[in-house]
Amino acid sequence: MPEGHTVHRMAKDQAKNFAGQTIHVSSPQGRFEKEARLLNKKKLVDIEAHGKHLFYRWANPRAKRPRPTVMHVHLGLYGKFRLHKNPPPEPRGAVRVRLIGDDRAIDLNGPTRCEILDRAQLETLKNRLGQDPLRSDADPDIAWRRIEKTKKAVGSVLLDQSVIAGIGNIYRAEILFLLGIDPEKPGREVKRSQFDELWQLTSDLLKIGVKYNRIITVPADQVSKPPSRLKRDERLLVYKKTECGRCGTRIRKFELGARTMYACPKCQK
């Protein structure tokens, strides 16, 4: 499943290609046909990301009180976008929705959710989502209040999208390694100073991820090439590693929060 940096990068790139345009919307697969008719030939105002969720805001001039119609997309494990130059090719596979703008088109296959939300549904969903370090309206104090009260391991809490939105399995391993925090440490034993470092580091790493469209956690002073040229095994410090690059200790691999965790038992006491 794409982590938060990928979803924010999608929102940024798609907004560049489609925002402000009148979009032709269709559902080649047919499962979004009714909704597509509602959106077809309307202006796409903007695209917003929150954690692993995308929100497309469409102008709705027919509404009695004009306000945007919102299309919500959650890619899940199998969702994928394909970008095309116009005219787009024949749909490939089960295309849930196709958006055609002035110069580009995009197909969406296999999302977990693709739906139109009314105002109440949008508010309910937003209230379920945690604080997103990439958003300017994020409030880290809200996330801290959740973490300081829980007995759950901090490594599990970081995957809880209702606490901090956007962190996935790779980021949680890398963040906790960089901070020297034991993934199994209960959230309520994390100090406020540690949380503040965690929040800032998460924000910094996600911004790097958006910029380069890939997860890069290795410090710049530890590599001798530009970040864009780093290979996958050069971009990460602990995830799927066998030995710790700092101390040489064998990396511990275990299940935590229903996902495989990687940690150095020496550096993360």
Residue 257 in contact with residue 156, Cβ under 8 Å?
Answer: yes
Which candidate in 9, 52, 57, 172 is catalytic?
52
CA 4 to chain centre: 2
Mean pLDDT within 236-244: 97
Which of 14, 9, 13, 38 has the alpha carbon at shortest distance from 26?
38
Please indicate whether residue 56 or residue 223 has the higher confidence score (pLDDT).
56
Residue 216 in contact with residue 230, Cβ under 8 Å?
Answer: yes
In whole angstroms, give the CA distance from residue 126 to residue 63.
Answer: 22
**pLDDT at residue 192, as a whole number:** 98
pLDDT, tens digit (0-9, with 9 covering 90-100), for 159-218: 999 999 999 999 999 999 999 999 999 999 999 999 999 999 999 999 999 999 999 999
Write phi, then psi, for 167 (nearest 5 degrees). Answer: -80, 130
What is the pTM assigned to this prediction? 0.93
**pLDDT at residue 239, as a whole number:** 97
Is-catalytic flag, 61? no
AA letter at 16: K
Hey, what domains does the chain have and what are their CATH numbers? 4-128 (3.20.190.10), 140-263 (1.10.8.50)
How many angstroms separate the Cα of 145 from the Cα of each of 109, 157, 205, 249, 264?
Answer: 37, 12, 22, 34, 28
**pLDDT at residue 232, as a whole number:** 86
pLDDT, tens digit (0-9, with 9 covering 90-100), for 49-93: 999 999 999 997 565 555 679 999 999 999 999 999 999 999 999
**pLDDT at residue 65, as a whole number:** 56
pLDDT, tens digit (0-9, with 9 covering 90-100), for 141-162: 999 999 999 999 999 999 999 9
Is-catalytic flag, 2? yes
In whole angstroms, give the CA distance from residue 27 to residue 94.
Answer: 9
**pLDDT at residue 268, as a whole number:** 97
CA angle 67, 70, 74 (to 5 degrees): 165
Tell me the pLDDT of the chain averaged across its residues.
Answer: 95
**pLDDT at residue 233, as a whole number:** 86
Which candidate in 82, 214, 259, 266 is catalytic?
259
Residue 5 in contact with residue 83, Cβ under 8 Å?
Answer: no
How many angstroms separate the Cα of 118 from the Cα of each of 24, 50, 52, 128, 268?
Answer: 21, 17, 20, 16, 45
Is-catalytic flag, 259? yes
pLDDT, tens digit (0-9, with 9 covering 90-100), for 8-63: 999 999 999 999 999 999 999 999 999 999 999 999 999 999 999 999 999 975 65
Is-catalytic flag, 149? no
